[in-house]
Homo-oligomer: A and B are copies of this chain.
Amino acid sequence: MSFVTTEQHHRIDSTLPIDPESLQTPYVMIDLARTKRNIHHMTTTLQNISPQVTLRPHIKTHKLPQLAKMQLAAGAIGITCAKLAEAEVMAAAGINDIFIGYPLIGKLRLQRAAKLLQAGVRLIVAVDSLEGAQQLSRAASIHHVTFEIRLEIETGLRRTGVTQEQVVALALQIATLKGIHITGIFTYKGAVLAEKPTTDLAAAGKEESDIMIKVAAALREAGIAIQDISVGSTPSALHAASTEGVTEVRPGTYIFYDRMQAAYGVCQLEDCSALLWATIVSRPAPDRIIIDTGSKSLAADIQPQQDQLFLHGFGHIVGDADAIIERMNEEHGMVTVRPEATYAIGDRISIIPNHICTTINLHNFVYVKDEDGKLYQWNVAARGLVY
| Chain B nearest CB, measured from A350 CB (Å) | 15
A3 at the binding interface (Cβ < 8 Å) = yes
Q: Mark A330-349, 1 if CB is under 8 A from B, else 0.
A: 11101000000000111000
A288 and B158 form a contact (CB under 8 A): yes
Within 8 A of B (CB), among A1-48: 1-4, 8-11, 22, 24-27
How big is chain A's contact interface, by range?
Answer: 35 or more
Chain B hits for A258, CB < 8 A: none
Q: Mark A168-207, 1 if CB is under 8 A from B, else 0.
A: 0000000000000000000000100101000000000000
| Chain B nearest CB, measured from A35 CB (Å) | 20
Q: A3-B116, A282-B160 are in contact. Are A361 and B358 (CB under 8 A)?
A: no
A362 at the binding interface (Cβ < 8 Å) = yes
One of B129, B281, B296, B301 near A345 (C-beta < 8 A): B129
Chain B hits for A280, CB < 8 A: 105
Instruction: Please give the count of copies of this chain that the complex contains.
Output: 2
Chain B hits for A116, CB < 8 A: 3
Bound-complex Cα distance A83 to B25 (A): 11
Chain B hits for A10, CB < 8 A: 9-11
B332 and A159 form a contact (CB under 8 A): yes
Q: Mark A90-134, 1 if CB is under 8 A from B, else 0.
A: 011000000000110110110010011001000000001101100
| Chain B nearest CB, measured from A192 CB (Å) | 11
A161 and B284 form a contact (CB under 8 A): yes
B281 and A24 form a contact (CB under 8 A): no
Q: Mark A282-305, 1 if CB is under 8 A from B, else 0.
A: 111000101010011101110100
Within 8 A of B (CB), among A125-170: 128-129, 131-132, 135, 154, 158-163
| Chain B nearest CB, measured from A294 CB (Å) | 8
A106 and B1 form a contact (CB under 8 A): no
| Chain B nearest CB, measured from A26 CB (Å) | 6
A357 and B330 form a contact (CB under 8 A): yes
Chief secondary structure at chain A's binding surface: loop
A361 and B25 form a contact (CB under 8 A): no
Q: A3-B92, A3-B115, A159-B329 are in contact. Are A282 and B132 (CB under 8 A)?
A: yes
Bound-complex Cα distance A237 to B293 (A): 25
Bound-complex Cα distance A384 to B1 (A): 20
Bound-complex Cα distance A93 to B293 (A): 26
Q: A284-B160, A297-B386, A301-B295 are in contact. Are A358 and B330 (CB under 8 A)?
A: yes
Q: Mark A315-330, 1 if CB is under 8 A from B, else 0.
A: 0000000000001111
| Chain B nearest CB, measured from A286 CB (Å) | 13
Closest chain B residue to A135 by CB distance? B346
Chain B hits for A162, CB < 8 A: 284
One of B85, B105, B282, B363 near A279 (C-beta < 8 A): B105
Bound-complex Cα distance A282 to B105 (A): 9
B103 and A281 form a contact (CB under 8 A): yes
B331 and A281 form a contact (CB under 8 A): no
15 examples of A-B residue contacts, CB within 8 angstroms:
A4-B385, A10-B10, A24-B109, A25-B106, A102-B281, A105-B281, A105-B292, A132-B345, A159-B334, A160-B290, A162-B284, A295-B299, A330-B361, A361-B362, A362-B362
